[in-house]
Amino acid sequence: MRKSFDLYFVSSNSHKYKEAKSILDSFGIKLGFFKLSLEEIQSNSLREIAEKKAKNAFLKCKKPLIIEDDGLFIDSLNGFPGPYSSYVFKTIGNKGILKLISLKRKAKFVSIITYCDKKTLESFDAKLDGTVSKLQKGKGWGYDPIFVPKNSRKTFAEINNKNESSHRFKALKKFSNWYLHKMESNGQ
Ligand code: ITT
């Protein structure tokens, strides 16, 4: 049975929320949306950005919450755009990224989920290896039309089971195991 916890996803990005909601639904956790633009500190560490983001989100939302910080790391560009993925997508976009890459196309998506409540701050990370396609393929949000997960020939935008294998799925699975255990120990 689906449990109704008081847990919110704080983000400006409704695509991320929709995917997170559907993934957590499959683990029996109900997730609300608190739409908010969160300031991101400049750092090379996604975890540092995520934990700062979560603390700021808690000051506004005042309820148990998760935030997510993602990055696309391209090997031949020494991990660029990485922690700057959101800014780079808004400025040069997928077209700009494709122009920057020549032969070596290996990349990875990283997701960090940070949980925050009055007493606890806990992060869960996951990565998904893949490549950057030569052309944009499929209709999807963000980097979905150019990211081809390992062992697939299609981009994230072309597959219909992204939520069963994505970086987001992997990080949320780790989070769910921890969270459900925490709720059980609290007798909820
Ligand atoms: P927040 O308000 O939650 O911070 P954001 O869109 O700024 O939303 P991030 O900094 O975590 O989110 O993400 C960086 C960017 O990476 C994001 O804007 C997307 O362009 C891209 N991205 C992240 N996950 C993605 C996914 O599953 N598919 C495609 N693009 C993704």
What pLDDT, in 10s, does the model give residues 88-132? 999 999 999 999 998 899 999 999 999 999 999 999 999 999 999
Which member of 69, 70, 125, 144 is catalytic?
69
* Residue 34 clears pLDDT 90, i.e. is over it: yes
CB 86 near ligand 1, within 6 Å: yes
Q: How far apart are CA 125 and CA 41, in angstroms?
A: 18
Q: What mean pLDDT value characterizes the chain?
A: 93
What residue ranges in 60-120 does DSSP mark as E strands? Answer: 65-74, 81-82, 106-116
CB 34 near ligand 1, within 6 Å: no
Q: What is the mean pLDDT of residues 4-29?
A: 92
Structural contact between residues 28 and 52, judged by C-beta atoms closer than 8 angstroms: no
Q: What pLDDT is recorded for position 6?
A: 80
**Ligand 1 mean position, distance from CA 188 (Å):** 32
Q: How far apart are CA 50 and CA 62, in angstroms?
A: 17
- In the DSSP assignment, the letter for residue 107 is E
| Tokens linked to 4 | 């109704």
What domains appear along the chain, each with residue ranges and CATH number? 7-185 (3.90.950.10)
Of all residues in the chain, the percent with pLDDT exceeding 90 is: 87
Output the residue whose Cα is nearest ligand 1's atom 22: 142
Q: What pLDDT is recorded for position 184?
A: 85
CB 70 near ligand 1, within 6 Å: yes
Question: pLDDT tens-digit profile of 161-186?
Answer: 999 999 999 999 999 999 999 988 88
Q: How far apart are CA 126 and CA 171, in angstroms?
A: 5
